[in-house]
A and B are shown apart, each in its own frame.
Chain A
Amino acid sequence: MAANEKILEVLDLHVQYFTPRGAVKAANAVNLYVKAGEIVGLVGESGCGKTTVAMAILQMVQPPGRIVKGEIRINGHNIVNLSEAELRKVRWRELALIPQGAMNSLNPVLRIREQMGDAIQAHEAISARDLKARVLSLLNDVGLPERVYNMYPHELSGGMKQRVCIAMAVALNPAIIIADEPTSALDVVVQRVVAQTLLDVKKRLGVSMIMIGHDMGLQAQMVDRVAVMYAGNMVEVGPVESIFAQPLHPYTQLLIESIPSIRERKPLKVTEGLTHDLRNPPTGCCFQFRCPRVEPRCLQAQPAMIEAGPEHLVSCIHYQAR
């Protein structure tokens, strides 16, 4: 596998939710790729469409939502128009999920062994004894004791449950794992442990990952590249160093400035505000209502993605002008 090979490609993805009062445009012309062994962070405030993109990649957009246009390629194969049966083969084999809110991600009435076993058995013919050995070694890999094997979810702490989810995600050694805010519901110490577990597993298996989150600080420590979304649009993508060193989009700048620091006390730049109604986006830049640098020409069209550096793309008219 070549180092630069694109494991996952999202091409011109449009997802809309069809509500009685109009279609909610939750993802608009989103382009993204993940290379082998890479972690790409997908950030933005809640409702910006990052989870929608993740669900679209998994082909699990819930009705009334639908992928209107676009391709999702895994190792070059488009999976958007696969049949249900074909899709089932791709799921978990190629494309695993570490869900948001580990609290409810495990079925409360099934034992851990049954839930992990389900994932493996759905894709491999495996003897009961091998299955047990496999599950136990997976639990061991994420630092969980053997007794977890026979336990129910309610007997585990939040961090343990999330580690079970990680173990489950790597069970079939998938091409790519989508981690949807894997640490958001946990307290700070547990967050670190889980994040460390995730990185360990990732390093050992060399799996590629998309990590969704709104915590820029955590992203900075874990990911290779960052993709920033606002109101269903991708506004900036780039290597983590260059994004943090030189954020180009005004929204990215606001996000980074809002990371608290103990070295300096800076006045909080307000990034709060109302996103426009996604059913009825304004013409022009999606960030126009909250952008500190908005000017009349911003209101004409959504700026195209411009290459600003190696792998660093931004969609802002101010950069274009330079």
Chain B
Amino acid sequence: MGGLTKEYVLQRVLMWFLTIWIGVTLTFAIPRMGKGDPVSVIVSRMMQRQGYVENANEIIESYKRRFGLNDPIMVQYIRYLGNVVRFDYGYSLTRFPTPAGEIVRPALPWTLGLLIVASTLSFGVGVTVGALMGWRKTPAWLQNILPASLTFTSIPYFMFGILLIFVFAFWLKILPATGGYSRDVDPAFNWTFISDVLQHAILPLFSIVVTSMGGWALGMRGLMIGVNNEDYFLLAQAKGLSPTRVFFRYGIRNAILPALTAFALGLGGLISGSTLVEWIFAYPGTGYVLYRSITALDYSVMQNICNLMIIITATGVLALDLLNPLIDPRITFKKSAAS
């Protein structure tokens, strides 16, 4: 009992498949609901650009072959799913004949790095702030200043990013405005490069963390207030435990479980938001590549990145789901008791 059961893991993995399947199916189905065939729309749009898109005819031919415009819709759908499974999005339209995947891949580490650091920081700081706000024993001065950290909560990340660029890069001129590293620094594993990368990462990180932590903080505050009234929390105090022990072992330890679930459900929003942040900061991740592919009408790269965002989100949720039974002994117990 407790821990990971085979049944639970299976169920979560199925959920992972289902989420990705629904996501990619939506992107396939909705454009085809309207009148007119989306692929021929693309093709005709490309025709118009024929003058300056190199290899336009080849591209259009490959597109027509790829999507089989005259095939029944189910055949098109199955072919599309097959391509998704094989991570095959065809050739980049702007850098034909480079496969879309090859353009996306170098951007992935930047995106994952930013996402992992930003989401960990945002959740960690948010949960701590919220837990302190919801705890009766928090010193009054702290109770008074903590709500100030929620000021930027309702602002979209990328808009806050624009404000940060304005203040710190253009006005105070203390941090670089855009990019992942300076042009005059060679990418290498040395301190110059690392510190340069870190400097460039500060503003993007800040725009995500400062605006997203408030959500977790508010949720955690509510959960902590709930835990404050639980019998076991009162009993822990009656046992004469030190306030910090009560706070961590009987407060945060319990309140964090639903907060983690909320975090998993908020991951999609976080990934959407950080995509836009990458665009604003011209950060060399997938978000920026996505923006460039949008302006260049590079459909295969766009498709690739959008599906990648769905997969990253679903995988993040799966990871949190699998972590959950390890810290909450009741989860797999309930499941097996219910079935």
Task: Tell me if A93 and B240 are in contact (CB < 8 A).
Answer: yes
The answer on a CB contact under 8 Å between A58 and B238 is yes
Total of A-B residue pairs, C-beta within 8 Å: 87
| Complex-state Cα separation, A155 to B236, whole angstroms | 20
Q: Mark B210-251, 1 if CB is under 8 A from A, else 0.
A: 000000000000000000011110111111111101000110
A99 to B235, CA, bound (A): 7
For B243, the chain A residues whose CB sits under 8 A away are 84
A106 surroundings in chain B (CB, below 8 A): 232, 235
Assembled-state Cα–Cα distance A89/B2 (Å): 35
B45 contacts partner chain A, Cβ-Cβ < 8 Å: no
B13 → A minimal CB distance (Å) = 25
Q: Determine how close the nearest CB of chain B comes to the CB of A74; give it in whole angstroms.
A: 13
Pairwise interchain contact B242-A88, C-beta atoms closer than 8 A: yes
A92 interfacial contact with B, CB 8 Å: yes
B140 CB to closest chain A CB, in angstroms? 13
Q: Provided the pairs A92-B240, A109-B327, A155-B1 are in contact, do residues A99 and B249 lie with their beta carbons within 8 angstroms? A: no
Give A77-119 as 1s and 0s: 1 = Cβ < 8 Å from B's Cβ atoms.
Answer: 0000000100111111101110111001111111000100011
Residues 299-339 of chain B, each 1 if its beta carbon lies under 8 Å from chain A, else 0: 00000000000000000000000000001111001000000
Q: Which residues of chain A in 164-222 are interfacial with respect to chain B, using CB atoms and an 8 Å cutoff? A: 165, 168
Q: Report how far A96 CA is from B249 CA in the complex, Å.
A: 20
Q: How distant is B299 from chain A, measured CB to nearest CB, in Å?
A: 48
Chain B stretch 95-138: residues in CB contact (< 8 A) with chain A: 136
Chain B CB within 8 A of A306 CB? no
List the B residue with the shortest CB-CB distance to A87: B240
Asked if A276 is at the interface of the complex by the 8 Å CB criterion, the answer is no
Q: Is A126 an interface residue (CB 8 A)?
A: no
Of A101, A119, A154, which one neighbours B239 at CB under 8 angstroms? Answer: A119
Contact with A along B1-13 (1 / 0, CB 8 A): 1100000000000
- Interface contact A118-B232, CB-CB below 8 Å: no
Residue of A nearest to B234 (CB): A60
Q: Could you tell me if B242 and A122 are in contact, using CB atoms closer than 8 angstroms? A: yes
Mostly helix, strand, loop or mixed at chain B's interface?
helix
Q: Is the CB of B249 within 8 A of A118?
A: yes
Query: Is B66's beta carbon under 8 Å from chain A?
Result: no
* B239 nearest CB neighbor, chain A only: A119
Does B175 sit at the interface, judged by CB under 8 A? Answer: no
Query: Which chain B positions have C-beta within 8 A of A92?
Result: 238-240
Q: Enumerate chain A residues within 8 angstroms of B253, measured Cβ to Cβ.
A: 107, 109-110
- A69 within 8 A of partner (CB): no
B264, CB-defined interface residue at 8 Å = no
**Please, which residue of chain B has its CB at the minimum distance from the CB of A90?**
B240
Annotate A30-42 by CB proximity to B: 1 below 8 A, 0 otherwise: 0000000000000
Does B39 belong to the interface (CB within 8 Å)? no
Q: Is the CB of B257 within 8 A of A109?
A: yes
CB distance from A104 to the nearest CB of B (A): 4
Residues of A126-165 whose CB lies within 8 A of B: 152, 154-155, 165
Closest to B329 in A: A152
Closest Cβ of chain A to B23, distance in Å, is: 33
Query: Which residue from B2, B239, B327, B333 sits with its C-beta under 8 Å from A91?
Result: B239
Interchain nearest-CB distance for B33 vs A (Å): 47
Interface residue from A105, A114, A122, A152 paired with B240 (Cβ < 8 Å): A122
Shortest Cβ gap from A15 to chain B (Å)? 16
Q: Is B199 an interface residue (CB 8 A)?
A: no
CB distance from A37 to the nearest CB of B (A): 22
- CA of A146 to CA of B333 in the docked complex: distance in angstroms? 21
Which of B136, B249, B329 gathers most chain A CB within 10 Å? B329
Contacts of A101 in B (CB 8 A): 231
B2 touches A99 (CB 8 A): no
Q: Please indicate the chain B residues that have their CB under 8 angstroms from the CB of A84 in the complex.
A: 243
Bound complex: CA A91 to CA B238 (Å): 6
- A96-B238, A107-B250, A108-B254 known; 4 new pairs, CB 8 Å cut-off, are A60-B238, A107-B236, A108-B232, A109-B327
Top 5 A-B residue pairs of the complex, sorted by shortest distance between their CB atoms:
A91-B240, A104-B231, A107-B232, A119-B239, A105-B231
A to B CB contacts below 8 Å, 10 in the list:
A60-B234, A63-B136, A91-B239, A92-B239, A97-B235, A99-B234, A114-B249, A118-B236, A152-B1, A152-B330
